[in-house]
Amino acid sequence: MKPYPIFRITIWKVIAILLIGAGVVSAIARFRLGLGATTHLNDLFPWGLWIGFDFLGIGLAAAGFTIVAAVNLFHAHEYEPIVRPAILTAFIGYLLVVLVLVIDLGRPENFWHPLVMWNPHSVMFEITWCVILYTTVLSLEFAPIVLEKFNMHAPIKMIHDVSLPFMIVGVLLSTLHQSSFGSLYLIVPTRLHALWYTPLLPVLFFISCIASGISMVIVETLILSRNGRVLLSPVLMANLAKMSAVALAIYLVVRIQDLLSRGAWHEMRSLSYHSLAFWAEILIGFVMPLILLMFERVRFSRRGLYVASLLVLAGFAANRMNTAITGMETWPTQTYFPSLMEILITTGIAAIGFTAFTLIARYLPIFAPTNATSTHS
């Protein structure tokens, strides 16, 4: 790679620096002044934008476990070139989610309590453990990339030797907590709107995270396949798109069937704050990309893949935000809109994520995997 002048100022760097700066200032204010002064959270709406961001971050980071499962467990080695970018996305995603969680906690200094004070009945307890353990697994999956940079082959060999059980554990942990984010809402049947509340929440959360994880991989591969670098052949990209479409189709069947069987269909027919949010989510984020991806022409076109995958990600985001925020609102008596500081902290953290990815992709061997990390035996 040709050396890149670090201090060249680009519009993206300016934006990133501004966002991160504003985020840091807001975060300092949040810790100095408390949650009440800096957020729009209140007793009747104790969870807001940050929880939504956590849902989102974890869902997009599903790219990591889906690709690791496909390549290293199911031996679909043709996708090997995107394993490392996917692991990097997941690793950064999880670290950022943990960061947001700590900012969101009322008593961040006690964040370690779930490690020693157990309540196995709590979904939050299970999620905490899964996220901690999976972030550990991700750091092991990420470590060879760093070690390779510094030519330390002995530890790479050691990690490689124990990698199979770790990868299996990683996929299981992901399955568990991806679905458990849905389980968090099982306990509020009278509060979460009928268009989103269902006993199937964990199942739906899991299926949709597969679609979003794969779409994230597609978008990422498209972004990274520039300046003559080709990570995956058009046929493989089209196959990924097909898998995403299958996940979308399964999701839609389960979701609609569930809504009909629970008698929530009259909620879908009436025109209301909630039904508008529901239809926007379903039509733009699930039905439209599914229809698009059914066309071979779309699956083989760069622009088509971009549009369809971004729609999937938008639909995924809408679904998580609707579950976390819209569905919990009672229009028009009790609504929530995040405060400026909540937004600035969130965008600042997102900017940290993009910056970290760009820097790591530039300085570490993300695109040149050697056989040392694959599980060819």
Residue with tokens 């993206």: 12
Q: Is the peptide bond before 234 cis (omega within 30 degrees of 0)?
A: no
Q: Is 42 in the site for other proteins (CB under 8 A)?
A: yes
Under a CB-based contact definition with an 8 Å cutoff, are residues 299 and 348 in contact? Answer: no
Give dist(CA 34, CA 38) in Å, integer: 7
Site string for other proteins, 49-78 (x = CB under 8 A): --------------------x---xxx---
Cβ-based nearer residue to other proteins, 295 or 331: 331
Number of chain positions touching other proteins (CB under 8 A): 56
Three-state DSSP at 195 gives: coil
- Closest separation in Å from C-beta 106 to other proteins: 2
Which residue among 36, 228, 263, 332 contacts other proteins (CB under 8 A)?
Answer: 36
Question: Are the C-beta atoms of residues 45 and 192 closer than 8 Å to each other?
Answer: no
Residue-by-residue DSSP string for 64-115: HHHHHIIIIIS--GGGGGGHHHHHHHHHHHHHHHHHHHHHHSSSGGGTTHHH
Tell me which residue of 367, 370, 345 sits closest to 108, measured CA to CA.
Answer: 345
By beta-carbon proximity to other proteins, the closer residue of 179 and 275 is 179
The candidate with the shortest Cα–Cα distance to 67, out of 48, 43, 99, 91, is: 91
Nearest to 100 by CA among 136, 132, 54: 54
Which of positions 148-167 make contact with other proteins (CB under 8 A)?
164
Name which position in 175, 322, 347, 373 contacts other proteins (CB under 8 A).
175
80 vs 232: CA distance, rounded Å: 9
Binding mask 102-131 for other proteins (x = CB under 8 A): --xxxxx-xx-xx--xxxxxxxxxx-x---
We find the least distance from the C-beta atom of residue 115 to other proteins, in angstroms, to be 9
Chosen residue from 12, 28, 31, 260 binding other proteins by CB under 8 A: 31
CB of 1 to other proteins, least distance (A): 32
Residue 262 beta carbon to other proteins: minimum distance, rounded to whole angstroms: 14
Helix (H, G, I), strand (E, B) or coil at 234: helix
Q: Which is nearer to other proteins, 105 or 284 (CB)?
A: 105
Candidates 9-17, 177-185, 215-223, 249-257; binding stretch for other proteins (CB under 8 A): 177-185
Using alpha carbons, list the distances in angstroms from residue 249 to 122, 208, 236, 293, 368.
32, 10, 20, 11, 35
Does 176 bind other proteins (CB under 8 A)? Our answer is yes
Nearer to other proteins, 88 or 130 (CB): 130
- Which residue lies nearer to other proteins by CB, 31 or 295? 31
Contacting positions for other proteins (CB under 8 A):
31-37, 41-44, 46-47, 69, 73-75, 104-108, 110-111, 113-114, 117-126, 128, 164, 168-169, 171-172, 175-176, 179-180, 183-184, 186-190, 199, 202, 377
